[in-house]
Copies of this chain bind each other. A is one copy, B any other.
Amino acid sequence: MPPSAKEIADFIHARLLGNGAVQLTGISSIRAASNGDLVFVTDERKLPQAIASGASAIITGEFAADLASAKPLLLHPQPRLAFARAARLICASSARKTGTHPTAIIHPSASLASNIAIDEYVVIKEGVSIGSGTWVGAGTVISKDVSIGENCEISPNVTIYSGVTLRNRVIIHAGAVLGSDGFGYVRDEVTGRYEKFPQIGRLVIEDDVEIGANTAIDRGALEFTRIGRGTKIDNLVHVGHNVQIGEDVVIAAQTGISGSAIVENSVVIGGQVGIADHVRIESGAILGAQSGIPSNKVIRGKGIVFWGTPARPIREYLKQLAVLARLAKKA
């Protein structure tokens, strides 16, 4: 049974105006909405368009309280957030079936909760443990002594090296590699050749982390790499060995974080940013896309945007760009 507008309002703690019995079977953008769809509006000017759309209900803000609408309205102080939560309820009906495909190869020493879904050609090695509600997509390889918590979603063709820990509700997208060897070598001063430094540490990924497609995260060399609770990492990101990433950090696509860097809580990192080894990005700093932080630097400033290579406060950087443009125009 799809949820009603009333059930959704209760679930997201919204104030319901209008017919609460309307059933919602899907979510949509306003433009593509059809019967049964829930949409959301954060900008008052888009309300008429939403009301005129094919949608069956609208999540919006208190600014719509006095509006005449034939569609039920669900009023919430954060409509976009409320919509994201409502979507979980609506889409839950199409949830994955549990069960283990007969082609999955699971080592007898692995400890798997009962209501999990293990797809075709998954390989699970000795000593692995997987918590209830977790899904492992086809072709994924989970090496020795990996520990995976509850309600994780691991897409197809992921590789998890030995000794990695995923806590609960971790989402891993296809092609991601977790726990690969870090890039550590010792140069023999006599021969000039590089020898591999041991990479035997661990990788811990805490609750509610999401990791994008084809991202690669290295294990620690001798100790561990850590991705903190609630952190979101986009596609094709590189995280080197011994890196410590805090909680609620956002890292956009193709950013690279070198060995032993520290990224504190609530940092926001744009795409293609480069963070060199042993850097510390302090809590709440914001790094603009493509900026670069040289080795051993400390970036400090809650809510301050840094940009450029080497990264400077954005006001400074923009002023430098403006000065240079003016000089070049005169030249």
Cβ of B248 and Cβ of A32 under 8 Å apart? Answer: no
Cβ of A192 and Cβ of B266 under 8 Å apart? Answer: yes
B-side contacts of A266, CB under 8 Å: 192
Measured CA separation A175–B179 after assembly (Å): 12
Q: Does A28 contact B (CB under 8 A)?
A: yes
Partner-contacting stretch, out of A14-22, A46-54, A65-73, A119-127: A119-127
* Chain B proximity mask over A210-246: 1 for CB below 8 Å, otherwise 0: 1011111010001100000010101110101000000
- A170 CB, nearest partner CB in chain B, Å: 12
Q: Does A113 contact B (CB under 8 A)?
A: no
Q: Does A80 contact B (CB under 8 A)?
A: yes
Cβ of B258 and Cβ of A271 under 8 Å apart? Answer: yes
- For window 129-149 of A, CB contacts with B under 8 Å fall at 137-139, 141, 143
B-side contacts of A298, CB under 8 Å: none
Residue from A189, A193, A195 whose CB has the most chain B CB atoms within 10 Å: A195
Q: Does A296 contact B (CB under 8 A)?
A: no
Which partner residue on chain B sits nearest A233 by CB separation? B183
Measured CA separation A119–B107 after assembly (Å): 13
Which partner residue on chain B sits nearest A325 by CB separation? B320
Q: Does A31 contact B (CB under 8 A)?
A: yes
B-side contacts of A143, CB under 8 Å: 156
State the number of copies, please.
Answer: 3
B-side contacts of A194, CB under 8 Å: 230, 232, 248, 250
Cβ of B139 and Cβ of A195 under 8 Å apart? Answer: no
Q: How large is the interface on A (under 10, 10 to 19, 20 to 34, 35 or more residues)?
A: 35 or more
B-side contacts of A274, CB under 8 Å: 254, 271-272, 289-290
Measured CA separation A87–B119 after assembly (Å): 37
Q: Does A206 contact B (CB under 8 A)?
A: no
CB contact between A139 and one of B123, B238, B252 (< 8 Å): that residue: B123
Given A159-B174, A238-B234, A238-B254, residue A121 in contact with residue B119 (CB < 8 A) = no
Cβ of B216 and Cβ of A216 under 8 Å apart? Answer: no
- For window 238-286 of A, CB contacts with B under 8 Å fall at 238, 240, 248, 250, 252-254, 256, 258, 266, 270-272, 274, 276
A contacts, CB < 8 Å to B: 27-29, 31-32, 78, 80-81, 83-85, 87, 91, 103, 105, 119-121, 123, 137-139, 141, 143, 155-159, 161, 171, 173-175, 177, 180-181, 183, 185-189, 192-198, 200, 208, 210, 212-216, 218, 222-223, 230, 232, 234-236, 238, 240, 248, 250, 252-254, 256, 258, 266, 270-272, 274, 276, 289-290, 292, 294, 308-310, 316, 319-325, 327-328, 331
> What would 6 A/B residue contacts be, using CB atoms closer than 8 Å?
A155-B180, A180-B235, A183-B232, A183-B253, A236-B238, A310-B321
